[in-house]
Structure 1
Amino acid sequence: MKLFSISTLVLLLLGTACSNPYTRSTGYIYLQKQHRPEKKWTLVWKDDFNSPNLDTSKWTRIPPGTSDWNKHMSTHQDCFRMDSGYVYLRGIRNPDPASDPRPFITGGIYTKGKFAFQYGKIEIRAKLECATGSWPAMWMLAEQNKYGAYPKNGEIDIMEHLNFEHKVYQTTHSYYTLNLKQTNNPPHSGTAAFNRDGFNTFGIKWFPDKIVFTVNGKETFTYPRITGVDASQWPYDQPFYLLIDQQLGGSWVGKVNPLQLPVQMIVDWVKVYQ
């Protein structure tokens, strides 16, 4: 009986391993197996944010940088809050200007070096608060340097929101769109309406030949891989990691009104399927 149980367990484990829709590279990069579009999606990675603290095996707090998007990023505890199954990424007035001269700071998290995937479906359920100069974003960058310095490896913007608008922006950026200025062959960006006062689910379905953007399960914009153009049009054949951040200010969104802070992006869950 014991031998039967052990052999049965081994068979079950082998069956489970064989049914995985992905292979693992370097332990944390999920590479979708071929011919998956003909099969049902399988959940491969998620975070429900039910723990009292951020899961640092999955996420890192985004440090400050020099670009528009990260110049106010901070690892300060006041920019983050975990409560009742949500993570709050906050844009706040700087509580310690003596040690940090920036007038406001913001919170963001990413999976760089901890989780990345190539092809599949990602969905993120979140509520976007509004303020003048608020710029919450969910986006993806290449985990590995396959083609060279940015923007040659591409960028996938699952969702960006500005100020008090009733729409979100969904975009791809690359050397092809930014340097060669090929923004309409094919169109690289679209907008979509969303419920500004409640939770929404933002996502993409990413295939070897197209990226399909979604809001609340509805397909809103598609960026296809096309032939007969510069090869830099499609750098999306490599693993990408995820960034979720509450940004503030910059040349696109405009100036920040400090009187309207704090502002938050409240994230319920993240799910990745292959």
Structure 2
Amino acid sequence: MNKLRYFLLLLPFFAGSWGNSKPQSWKLIWEDQFNGPELDTTKWTKIPPNKADWGRHMSSDPQCYALKDGHLFLRGINNPDTLKDPRPFLTGGIYSKGKFAFQYGKIEIRAKLECAQGAWPAMWMLAEHDKYGKYPRNGEIDIMEHLNYDSIIYQTTHSWYTLELKQKNNPPHGGTAGLNIKDFNTFGLEWYPDKLVFTLNGKETFRYPRVKDVDPSQWPYDQPFYIMIDQQLGGNWVGKVDPAQLPVQMIVDWVKVYQ
């Protein structure tokens, strides 16, 4: 059998593995169970503050972080020292930028979300490199966002296509899913070359497909992305923060990535 014929025979198998059908089994390639006494800095970095709505209160202050009984606590707090730092609130968040990124596969994060007015916990992913230019050219995948005391989460994609070209319904770029906010829940994403499948507790909740005959910026999801998990506070979307309802925290049990 010549090499070309052998390749053509195998081609349907490889296409099926990452096309319309799911892999027959997932293999765990990366995880953190948060069992250590300190944050594993070979996997994570504390997110520094930035000018974005979500990041203006980000801090490395130890009061925003704790590890206990196999859980990571990311906290939003009232700033105890506004002379040292004038910001009214401080928030904790971690990302794997520069330490771990992946392209295609499955990610699941088990966590419990606490509620407060102005609380905005999020689990999301951004591109490791600027393959197509600056944000939002490389896209954003929001595995989970929660607002205030809502009984739903938001699962969304953002890109040049959705934000600048305003193509938010061709196809729909986000959905919601109901959950019991008092429980630990598993927030997930299955990522293929032709679709993003969002999940909650192992069940599909929303799907964003790659579509043909539209602007190429509709699908920047063909490159490695890194993981972000943060307890955000305040902003135009979530509204003002009630200081009397702080501290608030996201309690993360584990993060697992499969391919």
Q: What TM-score results when the alignment is normalised by the length of structure 2?
A: 0.92
Supply the distance in 1 between the matched residues of 2:191 and 2:47 (Cα, whole angstroms).
25
- The equivalent residue for 2:225 is 240
Q: Residues 28-51 of structure 1: CA distance to partner in whole angstroms, max 9, x if unpaired?
A: xxxxx9735433100000000000
Supply the distance in 2 between the matched residues of 1:69 and 1:119 (Cα, whole angstroms).
26
- The equivalent residue for 1:105 is 90
Offset, 1:149: 0.5
The letter for the 2-side match of 1:108 is: G
Aligned match of 1:179 in 158, 161, 164? 164
- The equivalent residue for 1:230 is 215
Offset, 1:171: 0.1
Identity, % of aligned pairs? 69
| Residue 212 of structure 2 is aligned to residue 212 of structure 1 | no
Supply the RMSD in Å over aligned alpha carbons: 1.0
- The equivalent residue for 1:198 is 183
Supply the distance in 2 between the matched residues of 1:174 and 1:46 (Cα, whole angstroms).
27
Supply the distance in 1 between the matched residues of 2:57 and 2:74 (Cα, whole angstroms).
13
The letter for the 2-side match of 1:87 is: L
Structure 2 SS opposite 1:68: coil
Aligned match of 2:51 in 44, 47, 66? 66
| Residue 37 of structure 2 is aligned to residue 52 of structure 1 | yes
Unmatched 5+ stretches in structure 2:
1-13
- The equivalent residue for 1:116 is 101
Distance 1:38 1:267, change over 3 A: closer
| Residue 110 of structure 2 is aligned to residue 138 of structure 1 | no
Matches within 5 A, 1:20-31: none
Q: What TM-score results when the alignment is normalised by the length of structure 1?
A: 0.87
Offset, 1:182: 0.1
Q: Residues 166-198 of structure 1: CA distance to partner in whole angstroms, max 9, x if unpaired?
A: 000000000000000000000000000111001
Supply the distance in 1 between the matched residues of 2:161 and 2:232 (Cα, whole angstroms).
26
| Residue 154 of structure 2 is aligned to residue 161 of structure 1 | no
- The equivalent residue for 1:148 is 133
Aligned match of 2:112 in 127, 142, 146? 127
Q: Residues 76-96 of structure 1: CA distance to partner in whole angstroms, max 9, x if unpaired?
A: 000000000000000000011
| Residue 76 of structure 2 is aligned to residue 91 of structure 1 | yes
Q: Which moved more, 1:93-102 or 1:163-172?
A: 93-102
Structure 2 SS opposite 1:250: coil
The letter for the 1-side match of 2:251 is: I
Runs of 4+ residues deviating >3 angstroms: 33-39
- The equivalent residue for 1:256 is 241
Supply the distance in 2 between the matched residues of 1:115 and 1:149 (Cα, whole angstroms).
20
Structure 1 SS opposite 2:102: strand
Supply the distance in 2 between the matched residues of 1:238 and 1:39 (Cα, whole angstroms).
23
